[in-house]
Amino acid sequence: MSLWIKENCVSFFQLFCIKVIKTGRVPQHIAFIMDGNRRYAKKNSVDKSTGHHKGFDKLSETLKWCLDLGIPEVTVYAFSIENFKRSKEEVDALMELAREKFQNLLDEMSDEISRAASRIIDGVKENKISPENIDEELISQSLDLGEPELLVRTSGEVRLSDFMLWQISNTVLYFTDVLWPEFTIWNLLAAIIHFQRNAPPIKAEDTNETAHEKKEFLKYLEQRRAQELTKYIS
């Protein structure tokens, strides 16, 4: 486990509540729009960089909660092009925080949909997928970021800020007024209860030849992504 994911950050009662929640359906992929770091700093009379560090600490804590809940995939909205309009001091602090905390991760600024299209074209050329089997669902599954089942946005903002617009057509949305650094496990459990009440039914898995070909093609894509990642980090 990564060293910056906090250990033992739940009480016995919280762990009991987690086990109760897990008796129901738990999302396998959650996306977070972590909003409210600057407002937290203003509210607590600290500088903005401290607010952002508190926000990262909260991400570390939240990832541990997700592990406890059995959620294997988490996507976060941490920084956008619009954020470059902020003061140079704040942008520099954010970039330094990213270098400090994510120095081993690839920060690749490229067009995700174009990259998925390129992979599908290569798959057709290599006879991994038939052109007639390419549809919206296959494109979605070919993206680097999968479709989250639940998206949580903090700080009271009820908008998506252009985050994962292709992937979230079937996603349950949950908005909360709490600022991100003040997000608690109770807020996360409330979001999951909201998901359990509003999630669409799980689709039955197709067993026809078309579905089988798509499944094999997606396995091929996973292998290709692994090779690409190995190339970048080696």
> What confidence score (pLDDT) does residue 143 get?
65
> What confidence score (pLDDT) does residue 110 get?
47
Instruction: Evaluate whether residue 28 is within a structural domain.
Output: yes
Number of alpha carbons in the 13 Å side-chain half-sphere of residue 110: 13
Question: Tell me, what CATH number does 181's domain have?
Answer: 3.40.1180.10
> What confidence score (pLDDT) does residue 142 get?
67
Instruction: Evaluate whether residue 124 is within a structural domain.
Output: no
Domain hosting residue 169, numbered range: 12-110+145-207
> What confidence score (pLDDT) does residue 225 get?
65
Domain count for the chain:
1
Q: In what order do the strands lie in the sheet with 150-153?
A: 73-77, 29-33, 150-153, 172-175
At residue 108, what is the residue type? E
> What confidence score (pLDDT) does residue 155 get?
93
Contacts 24+ apart (CB under 8 A), 189-197: 189/17, 189/18, 189/21, 191/30, 191/150, 191/152, 192/21, 192/26, 192/27, 192/69, 192/150, 193/21, 195/25, 195/27, 195/149, 195/150, 196/24, 196/25
Q: Give me the tens of pLDDT residue by residue for the chain, a chain 234 residues long.
A: 444 455 656 788 999 999 999 999 999 999 999 999 889 999 999 988 888 889 888 988 998 999 999 998 888 886 554 554 556 665 565 556 555 555 444 444 445 566 677 777 877 888 888 777 777 667 666 665 678 999 999 999 998 877 777 778 889 999 999 999 999 999 999 999 999 999 988 766 656 677 777 777 777 777 776 666 565 545
Instruction: Evaluate whether residue 139 is within a structural domain.
Output: no
Instruction: Evaluate whether residue 125 is within a structural domain.
Output: no
Instruction: Evaluate whether residue 123 is within a structural domain.
Output: no
DSSP structure class, residue 150 = E
Q: What's the pTM?
A: 0.65
> What confidence score (pLDDT) does residue 16 get?
94
> What confidence score (pLDDT) does residue 90 get?
55
Instruction: Evaluate whether residue 130 is within a structural domain.
Output: no
Instruction: Evaluate whether residue 33 is within a structural domain.
Output: yes
Instruction: Evaluate whether residue 171 is within a structural domain.
Output: yes
Q: Please give the helix or strand (H or E) that residue 75 lies within, else none.
A: strand 73-77
